[in-house]
Amino acid sequence: MFGISILIYGIASYNRHKENPSDKLIPTAGQMAESFRKAIFQPVITEEYDEEGELIVTDQPRTLKEAYKAGRLKEMLKNGEWQLWKDTKASGYRVLIAVLFIFIGILLGLYMGMFPYLEKLLYRFVLFFDKIPALAILPILFIIFGLGETAKIALIVIGVAPTLILDTYLRVKEIPKEQITKGQTLNASTHEIIYKIVFPQIFPKILDTFRLNFKAIILFLIAGEALAAEAGLGYRIFVVRRYMDMATIIPYVIWISLFAFFIDYLLRRWIDKRFKWLENN
Partner 1 sequence: MSPYIISLKNASQQYDGRVILDGINIQIRKGEFVTVVGPTGCGKSTTLRLILGAELPSHGEVTINGETLDRPNRDRGIVFQKYSLFPHKTVRENVMFGLELELFNLFDPIMRTRKWMQKRKEFRREADIYLERVRLIEHADKYPNQLSGGQKQRAAIAQAMIMKPQVLLMDEPFGALDEGTREEMQVFTLEQWKETQQTVLFVTHSLEEAIFMGTRLIVISQYYKHENGQEGAKIVKDVEIPWPHPRSTKIKNMTAFKDLMEAIRYEGLNPLHLQNIGNFDLSHKDSIRDLV
Report in angstroms how near the CB of residue 178 gets to partner 1 at its nearest.
4
Which member of 15, 58, 184, 257 binds partner 1 (CB under 8 A)? 184
- d(C-alpha 103, C-alpha 164), whole Å: 8
Which member of 181, 215, 243, 265 binds partner 1 (CB under 8 A)? 181
From residue 260 to residue 279, the character string flagging contacts with partner 1 as x (rule: CB under 8 A) and all else as - is ---------------xxx-x
Report in angstroms how near the CB of residue 90 gets to partner 1 at its nearest.
34
DSSP 52-121: TSPBP------SHHHHHHTT-HHHHHHTT-BHHHHHHHHHHHHHHHHHHHHHHHHHHHHHHHH-HHHHHH
Q: Which is nearer to partner 1, 38 or 196 (CB)?
A: 196
Report in angstroms how near the CB of residue 177 gets to partner 1 at its nearest.
8
Residues 240, 106 contacting (CB under 8 angstroms):
no
User: Is 263 exposed, middle or buried, given 0-12, 13-18 or 19+ CB atoms closer than 10 A?
Assistant: middle
Which member of 182, 215, 268, 269 binds partner 1 (CB under 8 A)? 182
DSSP 112-126: HHH-HHHHHHHHHHH
- Verify binding: residue 10, partner 1, rule CB under 8 A: no
Report in angstroms how near the CB of residue 207 gets to partner 1 at its nearest.
13
Residues near partner 1, by CB under 8 A: 176, 178-179, 181-182, 184-188, 192, 196-197, 200-201, 275-277, 279-281
